[in-house]
Structure 1
Amino acid sequence: MTDTAQFTLPPEVEAARVRSLEQLHLAGTPPEERFARITRMARVVFGVPASSVNLMDSEHQWFKQLDGLDLGTHNPRGDAVCQATIVRAYTEPAEPALVLEDAAAIPEFAALPTVGGADGIRFYAGYPLFGPGGHAVGTFCLYDSVPRSLDAAQLAAFRELASWAQRELESADDLERAAAVQRRLLPPPLGDLPGYRMCATCLPAYAVGGDFYDHYRDDGGLILTLADVMGKGLGAAILTAGVRSALRGASRAVRGVGAGPDPASVVGAVDAQLTDDLTSTDTFVTLFHARLELDTGAVRYVDAGHGLSVLTRADGETTPLPGGGLPLGIVPGEPWTAGALRLEPGDTLTIASDGLLELLDPAGDAGTVAEFVRAHPDPGELCAAVRELAARFPPLDDATVLAIRREPE
């Protein structure tokens, strides 16, 4: 028996759930054949007149695919039986399937306008579909206008079709290939780096993401980059590849006199190169780009709207570095000014994306990043702690960290 409390979620959970849906960029988009194959098969396998793949925001149930009924693109969330399936994903995670043999016989469902009557829902089976962070963002459903039940074999088949819908939601073939390419574009570990220890990790919220890090040697120095392209998913990933390539090219083409490439000149050149692309796509990029002189520990850097970089001294004192400038793509031609610091023996420079901040404190207090870094002074331990944190609380945003420590003499 289902009570009305199962139709609502705590406000903070609902907000996170809706944000997870937004990151898919699928609500309100046209039907797709990859989902239609599932709903057509469901009607044949179960002999039901209708099946659907739905996405649910705070106000509407969107039909990503609706087979057997003509209800347009969406209906009010308050009219949908699926709202109970969404909630069940949180209250009954061990068995999230909701099966109503006769919804009209259950008072709280009978009150819904879509239930009962000559052509309304009597039998309903729904299984939640999940987005970034493991939040329930939609449902795979079966409907019938007469009461019926599912035996054990049918329930197993229903779960299998729901798994198929889940896989299509999160990893279409082209998305899987894009994810593989994006992983390969991340630089391999540098191996032996005398006098320094470094670690970096990038954890996309979904198959592909808008974060990346980069590092490579440069004539006695080390180039370090961490960037965050606005948005998530495949669109952000496409732009991410362009930003990475532009930064590498500009770092090699723009060089300060006797001191390697000047970070401010590099960022300015990249902004000029990408202005048209960023403007036409209404996108901006925050980044931290630096050059470390390995012999001296001297660092020159540009923080273009990133604002989540921390210098940890050997005695444990942490100092957040100032954000400094605007993100790329905001004001074309905007100049950037390079900052400077020196890594003394025992010091660590840590750069993070805002996905780590969200994991640590959804309210957005940047001080929590400094506290987290202070608690994990070793770069390898820091990266391991970030991965452990993301495993316990799957990120809603891409979480990326790069840390380099100058070893004590």
Structure 2
Amino acid sequence: MTGSPGATPPVGGPSGVPPAQDAQELARLAALHELGLLDTAPEERFERIVSLARLVFQVPVAAIALVDADRQWVKAASGLDAGVSVPLRYSPCHYTVQQPGALVLEDTARGTRAVDTTVVRQGMRFYAGQPLRARTGERVGSLCIMDAVPRAFSADEQEVLAQFGQLVERELAATGELAAAGAAQRVLLPAGSVGVPGYELAGRCTPARRAGGSYFDWAAEDGRVQLEAADVLGAETASAAVTSGLRALLRATGPGRPRRRPVERTVERSSVGAPAAADGAGAFVTAFAATLEAAGGTLVYVLAGYGAALVLGADGGVRRLAGSGPALGLSPAYGSGWDVRTAALDPGETLLVLTDGFLGLSPDAQPAGGLDAVARRYPGGIGADEAVDLATAWAVTEGHPIDLTVLALHRLPAPSPSSGPGSG
């Protein structure tokens, strides 16, 4: 819809007072709040769109605004401060969400109701806003562009603005998927950390845009620590259900249950259960399962599939732990049985377990080179929390199409003799 000079769409009340909250408005507000974007930090995915819109339309200001019950909040902006709120009566975008198509004001100073808005008071003479819809159709905000001088806005330009709006709507839809994926994964994660004298333990899952198929777990008892990290591949929307079943299988042989060879029993049981859990989903599972004897730092583990397990040395060196066999749930044609391996974690060293998604971020197509590229990004001698933070920050910066899980176990350096009791 193009606004001609001297005309304003019949929306809102006097001076832009918000309309009554009827059932339609309440549904709109519910869809907005379900996104969980109000009052959140800036995000590159939205900032990129407004920067490009500003460049394409050659305007000084482009913004994404979300319209709440009593305010307009700027999620992203180029040429304007983001993260700020404006009362609805001074909000141009509150007009936009009340109509199905774009609101275009070619000259905001010529008798339009928008003359009372903040942007006009700041010298903006042109405004075009494209309503933004949630996945369920409610108009929750506006992608708008503004200029300090009046200008004509052609039908072709309106179509381009609508296409930019679709890009934003895709990100809004992805927000819901990310929230759902995060919620699914949080259910699978351990409720809290475990205290193991002489060690630090940390882990994090970063979901992609679908329900999570990646997780980690840990437990400790009688001087032993059980570690698990797994990634379900090929299950699409069923991945969270498959992962939940797999976690139950792994926990069934976790600490607290008598067993002579914990790692073998964990993997053997999971290798039988994984195909059943993934039945009909076409899934297979890459997994790392290990038992640490805390007193001596001995790690007994199985690495099934294509994940990576690295030991970061206190001297800056890196060594990769050898794999054990195929992914769980694959046909016997790919091989069967897993080698149980042993490694030592010395004082000052950090075990870093990365699921498959990290390997896909390497520009080197060769698997060995890819692992080396991963390893080179981490200095030796870092703690568990720092290792997890570095790995996650790299993945988010590079972009990751599938879920990521990182698990880190750091053995604290042995205290120096001078720091013991009675020293000094």
TM-score (norm: length of structure 2): 0.56
- Over residues 195-231 of structure 1, what are the superposed CA-to-partner deviations in whole Å (9 max), with x where a residue is unaligned? 0112211111225322111111133211101111104
Q: Which amino acid aligns with 1:394?
A: G
Higher alpha-carbon Rg = 2
- Contact 1:359–1:389 (CA<8 Å) still a contact in 2? no
2-structure distance, mates of 1:274, 1:157: 46
Deviation at 1:180, TM superposition (A): 1.5
**Residue type of the alignment partner of 1:186:** L
Corresponding residue SS for 2:352: strand
Match status 1:366 vs 2:371: yes
- Choose from 184, 189, 192 the match for 2:187: 184
Secondary structure (helix, strand or coil) at the match of 1:229 reads strand
Say whether the 8 Å CA contact 1:178–1:234 is kept in structure 2. no
Asked if 2 retains the 8 angstrom alpha-carbon contact of 1:299 and 1:343, the reply is yes
Q: Which amino acid aligns with 1:293?
A: E
- Show CA shifts across 1:7-50 (max 9, x none): xxxxxxxxxxxxxxxxxxxxxxxxxxxxxx9xxx9xxxxxxxxx
How many angstroms does 1:255 deviate by? Answer: 4.4
- Distance between the aligned counterparts of 1:389 and 1:357, measured in 2? 12
In 1, Cα distance between equivalents of 2:225 and 2:246: 19
The one-letter amino acid paired with 1:95 is: A
Aligned residue number for residue 134 of structure 1: none
Gaps of 5+ in 2: 1-23, 29-46, 58-101, 106-125, 133-141, 144-164, 415-424
Which residue of structure 2 lines up, in the alignment, with residue 238 of structure 1? 241
Distance apart, 1:406 and its partner CA: 1.3
Alignment correspondent of 1:302: 302
Question: Where does residue 382 of structure 2 map in the other structure?
Answer: 377
Mapped pair 1:402 → 2:407: yes
Letter matched to residue 344 of structure 1: D
Secondary structure, counterpart of 1:334 in structure 2: coil
Within a 5 Å distance, the mapping from 1:6-405 to structure 2 comes to 93-95=51-53, 150-151=104-105, 155-157=129-131, 159=142, 162=166, 163-164=168-169, 166-171=171-176, 176-177=179-180, 179-206=182-209, 208-231=211-234, 234-251=237-254, 255-257=258-260, 261-331=261-331, 334-361=336-363, 363=365, 365-374=370-379, 377-405=382-410
C-alpha separation in 2, matches of 1:275 and 1:181: 21
Cα distance, 1:341 vs structure 2: 1.4
Identity level (%): 28
After superposition, the C-alpha distances for 1:87-141 in whole angstroms (9 at most, x for unaligned) are xx98984318989xxxxxxxxxxxxxxxxxxxxxxxxxxxxxxxxxxxxxxxxxx
- Where does structure 1 lack aligned partners over 5 or more consecutive residues? 1-36, 42-88, 100-147
1:156-202 CA-to-partner distances (Å, cap 9, x unmatched) read 42546745554335526xx8456324213211442532101122111
Q: Normalising by the residue count of structure 1, what TM-score does the alignment of the two structures yield? A: 0.57
Aligned mates of 1:165, 1:368 — CA distance in 2: 32
Deviation at 1:353, TM superposition (A): 1.2
Q: Return the alpha-carbon distance in structure 2 between the equivalents of residues 273 and 206 of structure 1.
A: 27
Distance 2:49 2:176 in 1: 26
Residues 219 and 91 of structure 1, relative CA distance in 2, 3 Å threshold: closer
Provide the C-alpha distance between the structure 2 equivalents of 1:299 and 1:276, rounded to a whole number of angstroms: 29
Change beyond 3 A, Cα 1:269–1:97: farther
Q: Distance in 2 between matches of 1:395 and 1:184?
A: 22
Using CA pairs under 8 Å that are at least 6 residues apart, name the structure with larger relative contact order, 1 or 2.
Answer: 1
- Root-mean-square deviation (CA, aligned residues, Å) is 3.4
Distance in 2, Cα, partners of 1:171 & 1:232? 20
Structure 1 residue matching 2:252: 3-state secondary structure: helix
**Preserved CA contact (<8 Å) 2:275 2:284:** no
Would you say the 8 A contact 1:263–1:338 is kept in 2? yes
